[in-house]
Amino acid sequence: MSTFSAPRGTYDLIPPDSADFLAVREAMAAPLRRAGYGYIETPGFEQVELFSRGVGESTDIVTKEMYTLTTKGGDRLALRPEGTASVLRAALEANLHRGALPVKLWYSGSYYRYERPQAGRYRHFSQVGAEVLGAEDPALDAELIILAADAYASLGLTGVRLLLNSLGDRECRPGYRTALQDFLRGLDLDEDTRRRIEVNPLRVLDDKREAVQRQLTGAPLMRDHLCEACKEYHEQVRELLTGAGITFEDDPKLVRGLDYYTRTTFEFVHDGLGSQSAVGGGGRYDGLSEMIGGPALPAVGWALGVDRTVLALRAEKIAPDLPRGTEVFAVPLGEDARRALFALVTELRRAGVAADFAYGGKGMKNGMKSADRSGARFALVAGERDLAEGTVQLKDLASGEQSPVGLGALVGTLLAALRPEPS
Ligand code: ATP
Ligand code: MG
């Protein structure tokens, strides 16, 4: 223990548990790479305004959860609370929208929100995200949803459910908004929520409190107000998903916390995480580009939470396929052996074998203890006499069997033992 600990609402990724995080990130990224998405990375902070305009002045993210700071130069910056606004900002700045469309991008990184910390809700967390810019095609909405569902499935998760809704567009949403406001104004709600009715009434549907939810029975629903074009679009998304074998639940009250969503909106939930259930979410955000000063640019995307997906794996008792741990552990006896085995370890690593070494001049007994602890299958042991004979001792740590192997044959012998050809 030092004088310091990880800040409230944060935690460190420590081996061996950290391997699960890498496995989840990789599982989320692999389907995207196969589908032609290019990797994008943006700064960890942006101008505050990008988020207040791009995420929405009335959202919890902007009003309560943003980490903001003023630099010595007087710039007002915020640690990024989400990825979409930054990715769109970067794409517009690089003029990607003037090239071939659609532009497909994916990202992976850390995000920061000043939240009340609890299991599955942190102040620093990780997302993998994907965005498609410059095309309005239900096949893209469907593609993204399929890629996310495939990512969860490739991890072996069976408890992830997909909730789906349409939020309408400029055509039909205003009329629905007014109808919803009329309904909400008649309810018994607190001061804050009443204010929300005027600014962002759809978000009231998202209120988690039982007393509010009870009153929402009978609220007008977007699905009964969709214009023909939105209805047709949504129907196509649903058909494409069904065709791909993706099951989903229509959730007419699913609205998500951000202002810029239009049409398709979806959330992936898992019921094994306690009070939090959203493991990922996204949707179409055709209005965002103009909101941050760009041209009209239809877009659709999602962000999947890495932390909560790891929790889902643990809830389902799944250990993801991990990269190989140490396979060979070298224990030298004496200075000459130390040099020879260090060279062999380097050679083994270059040949693709995960090899480690008894550093710190441990001696035989402690060296073998480290070998056992490393989980390696084989130990390499060598002293003066072995070296004089041009051999090292190869010990199978499971059976205890030990035999001398010539230095020149060692890499081949180990590769044959560790990676037998399928017969
Ligand atoms: P919630 O309703 O749980 O607050 P959200 O709507 O704020 O979620 P999004 O902004 O859609 O979440 O982010 C996408 C995903 O990122 C979420 O589904 C979740 O898995 C993850 N996520 C969001 N906030 C946090 C957090 N504070 N800690 C850990 N994961 C988070
Ligand atoms: Mg949130």
Q: Return the closest-CA partner of residue 84 out of 49, 123, 54, 114.
A: 54
- Per-residue pLDDT tens over the stretch 278-333: 999 999 999 899 999 999 999 999 999 999 999 999 999 998 877 678 999 999 99
Domain boundaries, the chain: 17-172+226-315, 328-416
Q: Return the closest-CA partner of residue 376 out of 394, 388, 364.
A: 394
Mean pLDDT calculated for residue range 22-49: 97
Query: pLDDT confidence of 265, banded at 50, 70, 90?
Result: very high
Residue whose Cα lies nearest atom 5 of ligand 1: it is: 257
Does residue 1 have a pLDDT over 90?
Answer: no
What is the 61 CA–ligand 2 centroid distance (Å)?
Answer: 7
Sign, CA torsion 119/121/123/127: positive
Residue whose Cα lies nearest atom 22 of ligand 1: it is: 305
Mean pLDDT for all residues in the chain: 94
In whole angstroms, give the CA distance from residue 126 to residue 107: 11
In whole angstroms, give the CA distance from residue 250 to residue 209: 21
- Straight-line distance from the first to the last Cα atom of the chain, in angstroms, rounded to the nearest whole number: 52
> pTM to 2 decimals?
0.92
Residue whose Cα lies nearest atom 7 of ligand 1: it is: 257
pLDDT of residue 96: 98
Give one DSSP letter per residue of 31-99, joined into a string.
HHHHTTPEE----SEEEHHHHHHHT-TTSHHHHTS--EEE-TT--EEEE-S-SHHHHHHHHHHTTGGGS
Q: What is the DSSP letter of 118?
A: B
Residue whose Cα lies nearest atom 11 of ligand 1: it is: 281
Query: pLDDT confidence of 157, banded at 50, 70, 90?
Result: very high
pLDDT of residue 370: 95
Q: Return the closest-CA partner of residue 83 out of 65, 109, 57.
A: 109
In whole angstroms, give the CA distance from residue 24 to residue 305: 10
Mean pLDDT calculated for residue range 158-167: 97
Nearest atom in ligand 1 to the alpha carbon of residue 121 is 28
Residue entry with tokens 């060296």? 367
Instruction: Decide: 112 in ligand 1 pocket, CB within 6 A.
Output: no
Instruction: Decide: 302 in ligand 1 pocket, CB within 6 A.
Output: no
Query: pLDDT confidence of 257, banded at 50, 70, 90?
Result: low
- Per-residue pLDDT tens over the stretch 49-71: 999 998 888 788 998 999 999 99
pLDDT of residue 259: 58
pLDDT of residue 197: 93
Instruction: Decide: 121 in ligand 1 pocket, CB within 6 A.
Output: yes
Instruction: Decide: 81 in ligand 1 pocket, CB within 6 A.
Output: no
Does residue 110 have a pLDDT over 90?
Answer: yes
Q: Return the closest-CA partner of residue 334 out of 381, 378, 370, 302.
A: 381
Instruction: Decide: 281 in ligand 1 pocket, CB within 6 A.
Output: yes
CATH number of this structure's domain 328-416: 3.40.50.800
Instruction: Decide: 89 in ligand 1 pocket, CB within 6 A.
Output: no
What is the 388 CA–ligand 1 centroid distance (Å)?
Answer: 62
Q: How many CB atoms lie within 10 A of CB 30?
A: 14
> At 330, is the secondary structure helix, strand, or coil?
strand
In whole angstroms, give the CA distance from residue 128 to residue 37: 12
What is the 383 CA–ligand 1 centroid distance (Å)?
Answer: 56
Nearest bound ligand to the CA of residue 265: 1
Choice from 125, 128, 203 to test ligand 1 binding pocket (greatest atom count within 8 A of CB): 125
Choice from 61, 308, 310 to test ligand 1 binding pocket (greatest atom count within 8 A of CB): 308
Mean pLDDT calculated for residue range 136-141: 98
Nearest atom in ligand 1 to the alpha carbon of residue 65 is 27
Choice from 8, 127, 157, 207 to test ligand 1 binding pocket (greatest atom count within 8 A of CB): 127
In whole angstroms, give the CA distance from residue 120 to residue 113: 13
Phi-psi region of 88 (alpha: psi -120 to 50; beta: other; left: phi over 0): alpha
Q: What percent of the chain has pLDDT over 90?
A: 88
Element (H, E) at 105: strand 103-112
Q: What percent of the chain has pLDDT over 70?
A: 98
Residue whose Cα lies nearest atom 1 of ligand 1: it is: 278
pLDDT of residue 258: 60
Q: Is 192 exposed, middle or buried (0-12, 13-18, 19+ CB in 10 A)?
A: exposed
In whole angstroms, give the CA distance from residue 260 to residue 33: 26
CATH number of this structure's domain 17-172+226-315: 3.30.930.10
Does residue 386 have a pLDDT over 60?
Answer: yes
Instruction: Decide: 282 in ligand 1 pocket, CB within 6 A.
Output: no
Q: Return the closest-CA partner of residue 256 out of 274, 234, 280.
A: 280
pLDDT of residue 223: 94
What is the 205 CA–ligand 1 centroid distance (Å)?
Answer: 18
Nearest atom in ligand 1 to the alpha carbon of residue 282 is 11
